[in-house]
Structure 1
């Protein structure tokens, strides 16, 4: 059934692209698979496809970033001989919220974060508390290492992952995964909404329910398959 769904989606994309190319059908940018991703528009069935293209096309990723509120500094590609080479990466300073510290992110991770903040995190905060998140606390992104307990290279080694530890609201209230995942009902409900939103925004989201190593943070990354736990 999953293969049939993917095949049907690819067929529809091909038909839509051909119709648009021939001038038969004027497609709105958010429904045109080849149009740059606009972070301001609500995500749809094509968002994952557009995010996937960003990793292969730095210029396309830069166009997507221009539609976001992210403030960042582009970083030069590291030498191919580096132990953990980085390409198409940025140092993120802030967004509509502040970060506990700046961090390095691959361009696709940065765009996915911008989508997450605008369409998932802030709406969840407004619904739960009637106010926005003003700061995101994190444990870092880039780390040249393998997955814990494995020989496989971590997505952190290419700055393609971020560990989110908590949030500070506009009134100063602090909400953390370590304390509130099983804590106050409203805060716990908010964190579960944030977790669900992260699953829609990133390829992989791992939270406290996954294992003890993630008891105090959400691991989000743009790895090659989808996993939400």
Structure 2
């Protein structure tokens, strides 16, 4: 009798495991952005592998442009910049007004690599705008930045690795301006204990899902006034940084 109970128990456990496997499979299938082999779609919510797919666009400018157009993002492709072996870019874009989805940055002449543009678009749609509605009941009208392309080494040193800014694969975000006139700055509001501070911490966390590197005031004093967001390539199993 005990042997029968053991067999019945094993069958029940196997059935539960199989049901759980099918449930997970059905959930994953309903959210293709959570699968590593499905194509990237910027209009879909952020998934488990979205960040890595965005970073991979560094190797495919044509596909990156196609995805921006598919998602209704208007842009201007920039002329290539050749500034030596460690500086310059061939996949630069600038957001343009109009289209189904408009992204406003100040200053307006922001030139960035296409993968950074794609990540900025997904960050704004999926993270920044929902957080603004949640904390302020308003929309973000402009994102303030302090630049992207800059042919320099990390931290402005004379030696060492070049920054992702040297290939326009990074952007520094300094603040946000809302539709109700509210202005939020990282230098002034990061430590705020109210809505502004909560908003900034939420959008910082959300950026980590679409950028390879996110550095904030929590990282060091050099980032006290901005978020550094980049799409650094670190190989197929490359590590990602969120601080």
TM above 0.5: yes
Does structure 1 retain, via aligned residues, the 8 Å contact 2:142–2:178?
yes
Please say if 1:221 is aligned against 2:211: no
Instruction: Work out the CA distance in 1 between the residues paired with 2:218 and 2:34.
Output: 35
Given the alignment of the two structures, is residue 169 of structure 1 paired with residue 178 of structure 2, yes or no? yes
Kindly state the Cα deviation for residue 92 of structure 1 after the two structures are TM-superposed.
2.6
Matched, 1:51 2:71: no
Return the offset for 1:91.
2.0
Q: Which residue of 1 aligns with 2:106?
A: 100
- TM-score, length of structure 2 as denominator length: 0.76
Alignment of 1:140 with 2:177, yes or no, is no
Give the Cα–Cα distance (whole angstroms) in 1 for the partners of residues 207 and 71 of structure 2: 17
Partner SS, residue 55 of structure 1: helix
Root-mean-square deviation over aligned CA pairs: 2.3
Q: In the TM superposition, what whole-angstrom CA distance separates every residue of 1:81-105 from its partner, at most 9, and x where no partner exists?
A: 4762211111234563421122111
Number of residues of Structure 1 aligned to a counterpart in Structure 2: 204
Task: Give, in whole Å, the separation in 1 of the partners of 2:80 and 2:55.
Answer: 20
Greater relative contact order, per chain length (Cα 8 Å cut-off, separation 6+): 2
Structure 1 residue corresponding to 2:207, chosen from 198, 204, 211:
198
Equivalent in the alignment of 2:87: 84
Q: Go from structure 1 to structure 2 and tell me whether the alpha carbon gap of 1:27 and 1:105 turns closer, same or farther (over 3 Å shift).
A: same
Using the alignment, how far apart are the partners of 2:65 and 2:164 within structure 1? 21
Following superposition, the deviation at residue 33 of structure 1 comes to 5.0
Which protein is bigger by CA-based radius of gyration? 2
Higher strand share: 1
State whether residues 149 and 170 of structure 2, in contact with CA within 8 Å, keep that contact through their aligned partners in structure 1. yes
